[in-house]
Amino acid sequence: MTATKTLSQETIDIIKSTVPVLAKHGEAITKRFYQMMFTNHPELLNIFNHANQKQGRQPKALANSVYAAAAYIDNLEAIIPVVRQIAHKHRSLNVKAEHYPIVGKHLLLAIKDVLGDAATDDIINAWAEAYEVIADVFISVEREMYEEAERKAGGWKEFRKFTVAKKEQESDVITSFYLRPTDGEEISDFLPGQYISIKAVIDGEEYTHIRQYSLSDVAKKGYYRISVKREDGRDDIPAGIVSTYLHHDVNEGDILEVTAPAGEFVLNTESDRPVVLLSGGVGQTPMISMLKTLVDSAPEKQVTYIHAAINSKYHALGEEVTAVVSESNNVDYYVVYEQPTDEDRSMQNYQKEGYIDLDWLKSVVKNNDAEFYFCGPVPFMKVINQSLKEWGVPQEQIHFEFFGPAGDLDK
Ligand SMILES: Cc1cc2nc3c(=O)[nH]c(=O)nc-3n(C[C@H](O)[C@H](O)[C@H](O)COP(=O)(O)OP(=O)(O)OC[C@H]3O[C@@H](n4cnc5c(N)ncnc54)[C@H](O)[C@@H]3O)c2cc1C
Ligand code: HEM
């Protein structure tokens, strides 16, 4: 990676000394930034998640990462791994180079607006230069990702039409959709753990809505399978837009627009260690893809799969997993039900009741020298992360995916 522009030492000094000021006013700047940007460019509401906006989740992520990048302005190589992770999401959302100046312009306007006279011309000019350098890094990483997505056998660059070949209810709240390319051509392989984005064009909705879904089956099947949890609303919380649209309105034969598989939450194929997969609720989707891939392609590998669900009514794809596990002598499978039903109790179709805790984890996994992968609701992920750290699992062996904007599991 080479920055296209070199910043003067003076500019670098201004940036570094003002990062804390901007970060302190982060929330106000971010709010103003989005207000102004969406007023001037309402078309961007086709890309951004409105629920994240309302809950202030992603807005913080974007601005905070600009400040975080700025703190490394003289050593941007150091943040490339973080940039790559965000760039996967951007590529999957079809974010384009031409969007960057729009974001930059409104970030600077918001900084001026919030800081008032404290935002001198020197400060604003330094931030304009810094933003350009940071944006160039993202743009060049994303350009390579678009090219790679297109170059792959069966690959494509932006959105491609897929037909729902099969829709299958997997539990009270989770339904799978088998997607085949409408053009009947090949589709690219993916790594287990990767996701696709769906662009929902919904009758009566002013904007399109794009969401990510992890692929819940293995590659090379001629279809992509996603398994979607229906996010019903409750009290004053509106129902999820895309998940309810998929459940209620999308049927076999319908067409959806999809971007090519993306994401870095994938199996570390360099590691010889045993693998432990842990999922909560619909966080099972990437795990099932990983589990099936391991059983197919690394049958000697010792794998433990632990899945937590409320009970069997919410537990999707259980029979499929049981069938896969039975093909292998090297997979241990445990089901944890938070609130087993009477039927669950009489069938004893689970191994633990309640929540996963470290003592129980140690009793079933035994060896902490493993690669740990987990995904699920944020509180679940926090408990698992904390437990693994307490157990002394090194950070490099802990891998996880957020089903929303990335957050901090330590807070
Ligand atoms: C990498 C990745 C992989 C994913 N894989 C999967 C997967 O395999 N399966 C799956 O089901 N999901 C997956 N997701 C989540 C998925 O992308 C969507 O976020 C999910 O389907 C909800 O989208 P929605 O449009 O239904 O809800 P949205 O409309 O985006 O709303 C999100 C949530 O916020 C609530 N909400 C809406 N408005 C408000 C408000 N004003 N105040 C408070 N709460 C509000 C909704 O009820 C809903 O629960 C993944 C996400 C990522 C990032
Ligand atoms: C240097 C500039 C940028 C930075 C540092 C940045 C950073 C981020 C970060 C940290 C996330 C959260 C990733 C996650 O899901 O964990 C994100 C998501 C996202 N970004 Fe960017 N971004 C930049 C530019 C852009 C541009 C130009 C666009 C398009 C206009 C864009 C659109 C989005 C969208 C739509 C999301 C998904 C989350 C949502 O919809 O709420 N970003 N970005």
- Residues 110, 214, single domain; the answer is no
Q: How far from 185 is each of 102, 213, 218, 222, 303, CA to CA, in Å?
A: 36, 22, 18, 9, 35
Residue range 308-337: average pLDDT? Answer: 97
Q: How confident is the model at residue 400 (pLDDT cuts 50, 70, 90)?
A: very high
Task: Take atom 4 of ligand 1 and give the residue whose Cα is closest.
Answer: 213
CATH code of the domain in which 378 resides: 3.40.50.80
**Torsion 261-266-271-276 (CA) sign:** negative
pLDDT, mean of residues 332-345: 98
Helix, coil or strand: residue 136: helix
Question: Measured from the CA of 286, which atom of ligand 1 is nearest?
Answer: 8
pLDDT score recorded for residue 95: 98
Instruction: Please tell me whether residues 374 and 283 are part of one structural domain.
Output: yes
What's the mean pLDDT in 86-91? 96
**pLDDT on residue 106:** 96
Say if residue 95 is in the same domain as residue 121.
yes
Answer whether residue 1 shows pLDDT above 60. no
Q: How far is CA 401 from CA 214, 239, 268, 404, 408, in A?
A: 10, 23, 14, 9, 12
Are 236 and 291 in a shared domain? no
Question: pLDDT confidence of 97, banded at 50, 70, 90?
Answer: very high
pLDDT in tens, 262-282: 999 999 989 999 999 999 999
Is residue 214 included in any domain, yes or no?
yes
**What pLDDT, on a 0 to 100 scale, did the predictor assign at position 56?**
63
19 and 91 belong to one structural domain: yes
CATH of the domain at 28: 1.10.490.10
Q: Of the residues 52, 76, 86, which should be mutated to test ligand 2's pocket, given the most ligand atoms within 8 Å of the CB?
A: 86
> Is residue 385 a part of any domain in this protein?
yes
Tokens of 291: 């589990």
Ranking 27-31, 41-45, 101-105 by mean pLDDT, the lowest is 27-31
Rg value, the chain, Cα: 23
In a domain, 44, yes or no: yes
User: Which of the ligands is closest to the CA of residue 401?
Assistant: 1
Instruction: Tell whether 107 and 219 lie within a shared domain.
Output: no
CATH at residue 170: 2.40.30.10
Q: Which residues, 6+ apart, have CB-to-CB distance to 407 below 8 Å?
A: 57, 378
Residue 209 covered by a domain: yes
On average, the pLDDT of the chain sits at 94
User: Does the Cβ of 58 fall within 6 Å of ligand 2?
Assistant: yes
On whether residue 35 sits in a domain, the answer given is yes
Position 110 in a domain: yes
Kindly report the protein residue whose alpha carbon is nearest to atom 14 of ligand 2: 405
Atom from ligand 1 closest to the CA of residue 233:
47
The two three-digit tokens of residue 349, written as one number: 């179709």
Question: Hey, which residues does 198 pair with through a beta bridge?
Answer: 211, 258
Which comes out higher in pLDDT, residue 220 or 53?
Answer: 220
Residue 411 lies in a domain: no
Query: What does the pLDDT average to over 126-144?
Result: 95
Residue 316: both structure tokens together: 């999707």
Kindly state whether residues 85 and 143 are assigned to the same domain. Answer: yes
Among protein residues, the one with the nearest Cα to ligand 1's atom 42 is 237
Residue 59: per-residue pLDDT: 61
Lowest pLDDT segment from 67-81, 101-115, 131-145 = 67-81
Chain-centroid distance of CA 217 in Å reads: 17
Pair 140, 174 in one domain: no
Cβ burial of 92 (10 Å; 0-12, 13-18, 19+) is buried
In the block, tokens 């600077």 appear at: 108
- Domain extent at residue 374: 275-401
Residue 2, pLDDT score = 47
Res 354: pLDDT: 97
pLDDT tens profile 223-249: 999 999 999 999 889 999 999 999 999
Residue 48 CA: which ligand 2 atom is closest?
Answer: 40
Residues 125 and 199 reside in one and the same domain: no
Total structural domains in the chain?
3
Residues 212 and 343 both lie in one domain: no
* Domain-ending residue, one of 262, 297, 320: 262
% of the chain residues with pLDDT over 90: 82
Q: Does the CB atom of residue 262 touch ligand 2 within 6 A?
A: no
Please say if the pLDDT value at position 54 is more than 80: no
Structure tokens at 168: 């299958």
Ligand 1 binding site (Cβ under 6 Å of any ligand atom): 49, 51, 54-55, 195, 209, 211-214, 226-229, 231, 233, 237-244, 263, 282, 285, 401, 403-404
In the reported structure, the alpha carbon of residue 49 is separated from the centroid of ligand 2 by a whole-number distance in angstroms of: 10
pLDDT at 319 over 90: yes
* DSSP for residue 290: H
Last residue of a domain, one of 120, 151, 182: 151
129, 142, 257, 371: the catalytic one is 142
Catalytic site residue 142? yes
pLDDT of residue 20: 87
Q: Is residue 319 in some structural domain?
A: yes
Ligand 1 centroid from CA 129, angstroms: 35
The bound ligand whose nearest atom lies closest to the alpha carbon of 262 is 1
Q: Which atom of ligand 2 is nearest to the CA of 137?
A: 1
Domain match, 176 and 140 both: no
Active site residue 252: no
| Token representation of residue 301 | 């590998």
* Residues pairing with 353 in the sheet: 337
Cα 377 to middle of ligand 1, angstroms: 11
245 alpha carbon – ligand 1 mean position (Å): 12
Ligand 1 pocket test: pick from 90, 242, 259 the residue with the most ligand atoms within 8 Å of its Cβ: 242
The confidence score (pLDDT) of residue 57 equals 62
What is the strand order of the sheet 209-214 is part of?
A: 209-214, 195-200, 255-262, 160-169, 174-181, 224-229
Percent of the chain at pLDDT above 70?
A: 97
From residue 340, how far is each of 289, 334, 347, 411 by CA, in Å? 26, 14, 10, 30
Is the same domain home to 243 and 290?
no
